[in-house]
Each structure stands twice: as structure tokens, then as C-alpha cells.
Structure 1
């Protein structure tokens, strides 16, 4: 009896010590194969930097379809990891439309829209019947007076809801880390958007600029204006430009002067970065607005050849015609019966990279319009093709006729195909000045011929940066109003800017691959009786067999 009491005391003492230790030292173990519940160093660092209460409301509660329940579960697991790192991070799941009337739901939807939150329609399958429900796959993050919306569901072109959720789960850590970055970090890097060579209008690049301003300080900048201002010298302009970490050139349409080229050249020689979306082709959709529905693509001379050639790049003005294409919406019918129907338009090539480059990994397709191509030339600069055409590509030499009748004419299989051609290229390294051993447009006290480490991204289409406009309002970059497809243009450009500004931590989170298993709803419904019987009867049968065997062994052991 004494031994039993001692053993009991030891067990109780051990349990008390274990519970005390567990309350003081908390540890979680991620035993999943893909380490989905292990936060990256970037996300961990952001979580640790939260110094006061951060509130996160997740709008995924109530009755949800299976796909969204999976998204809810994964979101909760992730937020528990964040909260385990820092107790200042608080989260809860709410249903914004619970027990609300239709009018109240509409008001809630309008209030959430102020934060950019849009509802999604989902289907609940029950008993072989489907019901449409409104879901808000978003979270709102509040910290130190700052508020930001965190999207939890990606828009993936031509994908099922299951595929969208799977893709979204892979980016959950990125989305929450991105939200934390917005409300925690102060803007430090600066970007100059060039506005002096007939670039896209402010309204046409509004969504891109608005998104950039969430992370960086952005300002318009004019180089060519020096020609009209006697009080400002090119050297003054160059010195001002050097204060920016990155320059963005959104679809110039007027040829660069040698002064502008030299200022850009010396900016790059001093370590400045550049994102250049140059359109070497003159053609817009309104060129097809004639009785014949025929327009002519013409070459555009931007006076960039010498500058780019020295950097190991060449912009070609042959127009791409690709079988892998985005949709062109055309009006069909007459009067009140007019509808828009999307047709694959070979002059709208779409591109998706399968590489592991942080700029393009896990990126949705990017849409180009009437684009040229890029050649890479051998020199000491490292070149990386970010996006390219499909193997089934033809190049039409300019000037070239472009007709809507080509919608009904598939690319001739016997025609010469040039294979994959670069559409966007990253060049990085120590560039050599394009004006080395050449006459300079103006004198600089300290001309740099062999530059510091720098990087340039060249895109062969300026329309990649252009958002569509509806009723005078800029739409989300990459969103096609007529077809309803959201392309990955904004994500590509933001990744590019992040990379050029050495802000690569968040980009790396996109490379995290997570495999998400889903239940086959049709199969589970068809076979539910079988599995119900198995789950109910199998344990009973197992217990009965165990009882029979146990009794048999017991009788055998104690029989005389």
C-alpha cells in the first residue's frame, strides 16, 4: 500500500512539473512534409517587431463551402503561429453578414468596399442540392492607427474554386506578412516615375502607382523639361535623379533626346535601378475601328538602341502573333441584344513562367498587347528571361496589316514559327556606360564609365502597366472589364519593383509550395452509405472479434 501511495505522489508531482513547464515554455512542432506551419524568417521577423496590440479580423465564419472551410482552417493555423511568436497579435473569425437582412448586407458590403474588400460567390452542396452564398474571403489588420485589408482568395484565370483556394493557401503567409509590412514599416525607398516622353497618362497607371505608394515614396519626374528651363542644367537634373532608388518609364511614345539618354546612363552607372516598359510598336485597338476592321502596325523609334545595346539588350519591333493568347471582347448582336463575347486574339500574348526566379514563381499569366520582343547580347552582364512567348509564335515584320478577320484564322501550322521569344528580361551587374569613348551631350565633372552594381528590367510592351478605365475610373491593373479575367500584371510589376529595390524578403514567401488535399464531394455523396456502414459496423465487428478471441484464450488458459 505504501508503494502505491509513493508511486501516486510521484506521478502527481511529475504531472504538476510538466504542466508548469508547459505554461512557461511553449513550443510547437511542425511535422508536415511541406513545413506549411513553419514561418519563414521574414514573417517571423515581422511578427517579432509588433510592439503593441495588432488586431486581425478574419471574415471566414459561419456556414461555408468545403473549399472555404479549408481556407478557414489553414488561415487559423497560420495565425496561431503568428500569435505564438508574439502575444500582441490577436485574431478572431467573424461573419460580417450573420443574422442580417438583405438591406443590412448591402450596407455592410458597401462599408467593406471602402477598404477594397469585395465579396465572392460560392456554392454549398448539401444532399445533392446547391445553394449560392456570399463569402468575404478577407481579413482586416489594425495596428498603431493603420488599417489594411488582407486578401485571402486569389483570382485565378479559368480556374475552379478548388484550384483558387489551393493557390490562395500557398500565399497565405505572404499575404499576412505583406499586410504586416504595410502597417509596421515606414516608407524608405524612393521611386521616380518619368513623365516627359509621352508616357501613359496618370489615370492609365493609377492603380499601379496607388499600389506602389503603399510601400514606397513615389514622385513624378521630368528629364526632358530641362530643354525648356534655362535655370536648370542637365547636371542639376542628374543630381536630383540620383536621390531616387528606382526610375520607372511607363510606355514612352516620344524619342529620347541624347541628353535624357546620358542622364539615365549616368544614373545607372551610379547604381540607380530602372524598370523600362518600352513599346516599339505603334498600334492601338481603335486602329481597327473602320469598315474594313484593318489597321497597320508601324515601328516606333524611341532612340534607345545605342543605350540598350551597350547594356546587352536589344528591343525588336516585329509584332508578336501567338497561339497562347488572351481574350479580345467584341460586341455581338444589335440594339438591346448587344453582348460582349471574348475571342482569343493572337496579338494579346499571355505569358507564364515556370522558373524558380522570385519575380515570376507562382505568378499568374501576364497579358501583353501588340508587343515586340527582346534580344539578349553577350557581354559581362547577367541576363534572366522573366517572361517569354509560347513555342507557337510568329513574328510579323513591320509595317504589318492587322485585321479582325484573323480571329477566325488559326495560325498556319506550316508557317515559320520562331519559338519562345523574350518579352521581359532582367539585366544585372556592373554596366559599362553607353557613352564611354563617345562625345557627351553635356559635361559632367565626374563621368562614370564603369558603373556600380545595378539592375534593369526591360519589358517589350508598355501596356503591361496600363489599367483599363470604366466610367472615368481606373480599374485594377490586369483586370479585363469585358472578359472578367484578372491577369497577373500587377503582381509581376510589384515583384519586379520589390526585387530591384532589394526588397526580396516578401517575394521569397511566394516560392513556398503547399499541397492541399480536397474531398471529392460527388464521390463522397455517392459512396456515403458505404462509408457510414464501414464507420459504424467495422468498430463493432472488431470489438466482437476481440471479445471472442479474448474469451477463447481465457478459457484455454484456465481450463483443467
Structure 2
């Protein structure tokens, strides 16, 4: 009796100790093939650096289509993993439109829209019938008095809802980690956007600049005024420019003076980084708005050839046409009856990048408009072609006449044999000054002839960073409001900026590959009787079989 009591006590003590240790020390094992539930070290680092309470409201609740239920399930599982790492992370799934009438729902949607939350329409299939429902695939992260909205549904061009949800699940960890980063980390990097050589306007750059401002301090900057100013010297402007970590030159249309070029050159020599979207071709859609619907593409000389050549790059002024191209939307009808019809337009090349490069992996096609191409030259810097046209490319010599009548002519593949052409590239390393062994435009004490390790990005099209504008409102960068297509321009440019500013620790999350199987709703409904029978009869047969086996074994045991 004593031994029995002692054994029971020992078992109780062991269980209590095991329960205590498991509550203090635990480990989750991710047995999925793609490591879906393995949290990256970058996300863990963000959680470690955020000691205060983190609140996450997820607007995926209530009646949802099957695809969104999968997104909800994956989001919940990911949040559970994050909460196991950060005990002060609290999350809740909500339906902000639950039990509201139409007027109340509209008021809630307006309040959410002020925070950047946009609802979407989805379809529920029930008993073979389709029902439209409003879905809000967003989450809001709150930390230390700051809030940010996170889109959980990725915009993917020419895709089904299932493909969009699958792409969204791949980026769930990135989206949540990126949102936490926005509200918990300070902005310590500075970006200057040049505004002095006829660059894209603030409205045309609004979405790109707004996206940058979520992570960095962004400010306009002028240089050319020093050529006419007596109050400030080029040396002082250069000193001020050195305070910025990155300079963006967004489609200049006026030739750069030697003073500006030398300031940018010495900025680069001192370790500053340049992101240049240069348009070597003069051509805009507005030029086609004439009775003949004909325009002439002309070469644009920005006086940058000597500078870029010394850095190991060269812009080509041949106009690129590509069979793999975007659509041009043309208006038909008048007044309220105006509609837009999309036509394939080979002057809008859709460029893709190397899947092994973290900047371009898993990107949607990037849209270029009336673009030239570029070459990389043999210099000490390391070059990487990031985006290129397809192999079915034609390079048109300028000047060239363009006509809207081309949309009625079938594309002849025999004319598109120029091969793939580089459209965007990155050079990294130590650059040689473009003014080495040359007369300088102004006196600069201790001018550098060789740079510190730095980087230069060059695009052969300035419109790569231009968003469309609808009635004075800027649209998302990469969104074509006439055709409804989404392109990867913003994601690509943000990847470039993150990489150049050594802020690429979350880029791997953006490129995470997750394969999620989906249920075929139509097929399952058509075969519902079969699967209902299987789900009811198979468990019953297993139970009956186990019961008969148990009785047979019992009878056999006591028969002897």
C-alpha cells in the first residue's frame, strides 16, 4: 500500500513538473515541406525590438467564400506563431459590417477607407447558387499609439481569386512583419527627390513617394538653381546633398548642366547612391491625340552619356517594341457613354527579371512605356541586369513615326528578332569619377576621383515610376485604371530602394514560396452525394468492424 501511494505521488509530481517545464520551455516543429510555419529571423528580430503590446485586428470573419476562409485560417495560424514568440501580441478576428444596415455599413466603410482599408466583392457558392458578399481582407496593427493598415489580399494581374489568395498567403509573414516595422521602427534613412530638370511632377510620383515615406524621410531637392544664385555655392549644395542616403532622379526632360552633373558625381564618389530613371526617348501618349493619330518618337539628349559611360553604362535611343506587351486603352463613345477598349500595344514592353535575384523574384511583370534600352560596359564595378524585354523584341531607329493604326495590324513575329534587351540594371562597387582628368565646372577642394563602395541604379524609362492620375487623384503605381491591370512597378522599385539602403532584410519574406491546395467548389458540389456517403458510411463501417473484431477476439480468448 505504501509503495502504491508513493508511486502515485511520484507520478503527480512528475506530471506537475512536466507541465511547468512545458509552459516555460516549448518548441514548435514545422513539418510542412515549404516551411510555411517557420518564422524568419527577420520577423523574430522585429518582435524582439518591440517590447510593448502589439494589437492586431483582422477583418476576416463572418460569412466568407472558401478561398477567404483559407486565407483566414493561414492568417490565424501565423498570428498564433507570432504570439508564441511575443507574449504581448494580441489579435482578434472581426467582421466590422456584422448586423449593420446599409447606411451604417457605408459609414464604417468610409471610416476604414480613411485608414487605407478598401473592401472587395467576393462570391459565395452555396447549393449551386452564387451570392455576392462584401469582404474586407485587411488587418490593422496598433503599436505605441501608431496604427497602420495591412492588405492581406495581394493584387495579381490576370489571376483568379484562388491565385490571388495563394499569392497573398505567400506574403502573409512579410505583410505582417512589414506593418509592424512601419509602426515600431524610426525612420533613419533620408532620400532626396530631385525637382529641377523637368522631372515627373509630385502628382505623378505621389504613390511612389508615399510608399517611400512609410519607411524613410523623403524630401524634394534642387541643384540647378546654383547656376543662377549668388546666395549659395555649389560646394554648399553638395555638402547638403551628402546628408541624404539616396538621390532619385525621376525622368528629367531638360539637359543637366555640368554643375549639376559634377555635384551628383561627387555625391556618388562620397558614397551616396543614385537611382536614375532616364528617358532617352521623347514620346508621350498625348502626342497621338490628333486627327491623324500619328506622333514622332525622337531621341532625347540629357547630356548624361559621358557621365554614365564612365560609370560603366550606356543608354540606347532605339525605341523598344515587344510582342510581350501591355495594353493601350482607347476611348469609344462620347460623354456618359464613353467606354475604354484595350488593345495590345508593343510599345509597352512587359519586362521580367531573374528569379534567382531577390530584387526581382516573384514579381509581376513591370510595365515600361516608350522605352529605350541600355548596355553595361566593362569597368571595375559589378553590374547586374535586373529587367529585360522578351526575346521577341524589335528595336526601332529614331526618329520614328508611331500611329494608332498599328493596333489593327497583326503582329509579324519575323520583325521581332532583335533578342532580349536590358531595360534596367544595377552597378555596385567603386566608381571612377566622370570628371577624372577633366576640367571641373567649379572649384572643389579635395575632389574625389574614385568612390567609396556604393551603387547606381539605371532604368531606360522614366515612366516606370509614374502613377496614373484620375480627376486629380493619384492611382496606385503599376495600376492601369483603363484596363484594370496591375503591374509590378511599385514592388520592383521598393525592392530596389530597400536593397540600395541595405534595408533588404524583409525582401526574403516577400519572396517566400508557399503552395496552398484549394478545394474545387464546383467539382465538390457536383459529387456531393458521393462524398456525403463516404463521410457517413466509412466511419460507421470502421466502428462496426472494430466492434466485431473486439467481440471475436474476446470470444476467442475466453473460449479456451
Please give the TM-score of this superposition, normalised by the length of structure 1.
0.97
Deviations 1:1-34 (A, max 9, x none): 6665554444333322222222222432222221
**1:354 to partner: Cα distance:** 4.1
Give the alignment of 1:504-519 within 5 angstroms. 504-519=504-519
Partner secondary structure for residue 387 of structure 2: strand
Q: Deviations over 1:358-384 (max 9, x none)?
A: 211122221111111111111221111
CA distance in 1, matches of 2:24, 2:32: 25
Counting only pairs closer than 5 Å after superposition, residues 238-257 of structure 1 correspond to structure 2 as 238-257=238-257
Q: CA deviation at 1:550?
A: 4.2
CA distance in 2, matches of 1:187, 1:556: 78
The count of corresponding residues between Structure 1 and Structure 2 is: 560
Superposition deviation, residue 338 in structure 1: 2.7
Shift of 1:326: 1.2
Residue by residue, what CA displacement relative to the aligned partner does 1:270-308 show, whole Å, maximum 9, x if unpaired?
111010000011011111111211111000001111111
Q: Distance in 2 between matches of 1:134 and 1:79?
A: 24
How many Å separate the matches in 2 of 1:17 and 1:523?
A: 51
In structure 1, distance between residues paired with 2:368 and 2:423? 9
- Give deviations 1:204-263, integer Å, cap 9, x for gaps: 111211221111111111111111102222211111111111100010001111111111
Find the aligned partners of 1:454 and 1:230 in 2 and give their Cα distance: 32
Matches of 1:347 and 1:552 in 2, distance apart?
A: 79
User: Does residue 344 of structure 2 align to residue 344 of structure 1?
Assistant: yes
CA distance in 1, matches of 2:379, 2:218: 33
Offset of residue 543 of structure 1: 3.2
Q: 1:555 to 1:84 in 2, by over 3 A?
A: closer
Closer, same or farther: CA 27–235 of 1 in aligned 2, 3 Å = same
Contact 1:356/1:511, CA 8 A, preserved across alignment: no
CA distance in 2, matches of 1:479, 1:414: 31
Separation in structure 1 between the aligned mates of residue 205 and residue 34 of structure 2, nearest angstrom:
38
Render the CA deviation track for 1:324-353: whole Å, top value 9, x for unaligned. 111211112345433111111111111222
Whether the 8 Å contact between 2:354 and 2:386 is mirrored in structure 1 is no
Q: Residue 470 of structure 2 aligns with which residue?
A: 470
2 CA distance for matches of 1:25 and 1:381? 49
Q: Which residue number corresponds to residue 325 of structure 1?
A: 325
Contact 1:65 1:124 in 2 (8 A): yes
Number of the residue aligned with 1:366: 366
- Are the structure 2 counterparts of residues 416 and 52 from structure 1 closer, same or farther at C-alpha, using a change threshold of 3 Å? closer
Where does structure 1 lack aligned partners over 5 or more consecutive residues? none
SS of 1:193's partner is strand
Q: Residue in 2 aligned with 1:90?
A: 90
Distance, in Å, in 2 between the alignment partners of 1:11 and 1:130 is 57
Q: Is the 8 A contact 1:50 1:89 kept in 2?
A: no
Does the 8 Å CA contact 1:312/1:378 hold for their aligned counterparts?
yes
Q: Which residue of 2 aligns with 1:410?
A: 410
Q: CA deviation at 1:557?
A: 4.8
SS at match of 2:264: helix
Indicate whether 1:123 and 2:140 are aligned.
Answer: no
- What SS does the aligned partner of 2:453 have? strand
Q: Kindly tell me: are residues 548 and 416 of structure 1, through their superposed partners in 2, closer, same or farther at Cα, counting changes over 3 Å?
A: closer
Q: Which residue of 2 aligns with 1:379?
A: 379
Is the 2:467–2:475 contact (alpha carbons within 8 Å) kept by the matching residues of 1? yes
Partner of 2:180: 180
Residue 322 of structure 2 contacts residue 416 of structure 2 at CA under 8 Å; is this kept in 1?
Answer: no
CA deviations 1:155-188 (Å, max 9, x no partner) are 1111001000110111111111111111111111
Aligned to 2:218: 218
Q: Output the aligned Cα RMSD.
A: 1.6
1:99-141 residue CA offsets vs partner (Å, 9 max, x unmatched): 0001111111111110111111111111111111101110111
Q: 1: CA distance between counterparts of 2:447 and 2:367?
A: 39
Verify: 1:491 aligned to 2:491, yes or no: yes
Indicate how the Cα distance of structure 1 residues 2 and 395 shifts in structure 2: closer, same or farther if over 3 A, else same: same
- In 2, the alpha carbon distance for the partners of 1:269 and 1:524 equals 64
Distance (whole Å) between structure 1 residues aligned to residue 357 and residue 261 of structure 2 = 29
Query: Which deviates more, 499-508 or 81-90?
Result: 81-90
Please give the alpha-carbon distance, in whole angstroms, between the structure 1 residues aligned to 2:548 and 2:341: 70
DSSP 3-state at the match of 2:148: strand
The equivalent of 2:202 in structure 1 is 202
Bigger drift between 136-145 and 246-255 goes to 136-145
Unpaired stretches in structure 2, ≥5 consecutive residues: none
Q: Which residue of 1 aligns with 2:444?
A: 444
Partner of 1:54: 54
1:43 aligns with 2:43: yes
- Deviation at residue 553 of structure 1 after TM alignment: 4.5
1:58 and 1:91 in contact (8 A); partners too: yes
Task: Give the match for residue 273 of structure 1.
Answer: 273
Q: CA deviation at 1:43?
A: 0.7
Q: Provide the residue aligned with 2:33 in structure 1.
A: 33
Cα separation, 1, equivalents of 2:413 and 2:295 = 24
Residue 544 of structure 2 corresponds to 544
- Decide whether aligned partners of structure 1 residues 440 and 169 sit closer, same or farther in structure 2, where only a CA change above 3 A counts: same
8 Å Cα contact 2:190/2:244 also seen in 1: yes
CA-to-partner distance for each residue in 1:28-47, whole Å, 9 max, x for gaps?
22222211112111111111
CA distance in 1, matches of 2:369, 2:188: 34
